[in-house]
Structure 1
Amino acid sequence: MQILFILEIIGTIAFAISGAIVGIQKKMDIFGVSILGLTAAVGGGILRDLILNITPPAAFQNPAFAATAIVVSILVFIPAIRNVFEHGKKFYEALILIMDSIGLGLFTVVGVQVATAAMPERNLFLITFVGVLTGVGGGILRDVFAGNTPYIFIKHFYACASIIGAWTCALLWPYTGSVTAMIAGAALTVVLRLLAARFRWSLPKAK
């Protein structure tokens, strides 16, 4: 499915940039930056495929995604480009927010699509769970490798945006078709994520 491949490539680029930026912020070398970009880009998909018993995971069947993530991470590491990312805290935070939001939305609906195709009978809970895991899994692994508290546990309602987007996509799927459902789910996820950051929407936290 061509649209699926395009969405995955765009999501891979977005998450690879976010992972590479975190590696640069942590003062890692080029190998560390590349691993963080790779992990953010394909980690969620690998976890998804293992749960759905798709072996080997798609990231190993088609090297295009891993290669794209590594190339993007290396490009981000180049001093001329790296200096742009390091120019000002607000610019850095805005860029990682946008890239993370795009990756989150796209990978969430890709996860819904893969789960729907892999299951003989629709299970809304599992489809939604797999969609969310695809969206947030790479970011969790990225943050763990970087020594940070995973973003989804402390920032606004990052995972909740993915849950709502995945659920919307899964519900619309039988009625609107795959393309419309995926566009709606991805767009809703991205919009909610950006609105949450803009208006400081947060879940209750332990005091």
Structure 2
Amino acid sequence: MTAWNIFEIMGIVAFAVSGALTGIQKRLDVFGVLVLALITAIGGGVMRDVIIGNTPPLTFRDPTFFIISLVVTIGVFFTYRWLERYKNTIQIFDAIGLGAFTATSAKLALVHNLDSVCIITTVSVITGIGGSVIRDVIVKEIPYVFRQEVYAITAIIGAMTFYYSQMYFASPIPLYLCFTITTGLRLCCIKYGWNFPVIGRDSEESITDSQKSGHNF
């Protein structure tokens, strides 16, 4: 088993756990949780394959990812109470999945002779955030990437690291660097609360405070 295969499996497992936990928190039934886990795990990869012309998507040609997602989801059914004891569990698994998919997608783009920093970065970001965006839209939440969360930027930095490092280091070192930097940055954002500013936030808060004060009178 190569480093690429390991990262692919890590990404599938991490995003499947993230999707399953989200489904459980949103009180979906068993089928709903399973579907959400599958979409989170394979959604970004399907979008990537369509974009780079790797069709039909790998997920539909090889059922391995479906099977892994199914097994992981069943495991979450029995362990979710234990997992939920830890703060930010979903975000931590999301960070691991983001790093793994960013790295493998950058490598796959290069394998398909898409040797351009713009293409590699775009494909990596779409793969890394695609499943999570679809998951959040389904459960009617604003995706992390569209909030003040520093999310997609970490994938961009990781993908660019892969592109430039592969010029100087032999495989699989660029893969490791991309995964480590993307996941590490995302975990730092979670731990230290690094966020982008929200436009108009102060004015909205001021209006809200004024309204509350008016009601008090």
TM-score normalised by the chain length of structure 1: 0.92
Matches within 5 A, 1:138-149: 138-149=131-142
Aligned to 1:98: 92
Paired residue type of 2:96: I
Paired residue type of 2:29: D
Aligned to 1:114: 108
**Alpha-carbon deviation of 1:156?**
2.2
Q: Which stretches of structure 1, 4 residues or more, deviate above 3 A after TM superposition? A: none
Alignment equivalent of 1:154, drawn from 147, 153, 158: 147
Query: Is residue 41–residue 138 contact of structure 1 (8 Å, CA) maintained in 2?
Result: yes
**Alpha-carbon deviation of 1:11?**
1.0
RMSD of the alignment, in Å? 1.4
Paired residue type of 1:63: P
Query: Is residue 148–residue 197 contact of structure 2 (8 Å, CA) maintained in 1?
Result: no
Paired residue secondary structure (1:68): helix
Query: Is residue 35–residue 70 contact of structure 1 (8 Å, CA) maintained in 2?
Result: no
Aligned to 1:5: 5
Paired residue secondary structure (2:168): helix
Q: Rg bigger for which structure?
A: 2
**Alpha-carbon deviation of 1:14?**
0.7
Q: Aligned partners of 2:162, 2:115: CA distance in 1, in Å?
A: 13
Alignment equivalent of 1:170, drawn from 158, 163, 179: 163
Please say if 1:193 is aligned against 2:186: yes
Aligned length: 200
Q: Aligned partners of 1:86, 1:185: CA distance in 2, in Å?
A: 28
Over the matched positions of the two proteins, sequence identity in percent amounts to: 40
Q: Aligned partners of 2:17, 2:154: CA distance in 1, in Å?
A: 20
Where do 5+ consecutive residues of structure 2 fail to align? 201-217
**Alpha-carbon deviation of 1:178?**
2.7
Q: 1:177 to 1:65 in 2, by over 3 A?
A: same
Deviates more, 1:94-103 or 1:105-114: 94-103
Q: Aligned partners of 2:2, 2:61: CA distance in 1, in Å?
A: 16
**Alpha-carbon deviation of 1:197?**
1.4
TM-score normalised by the chain length of structure 2: 0.88
Where do 5+ consecutive residues of structure 1 fail to align? none
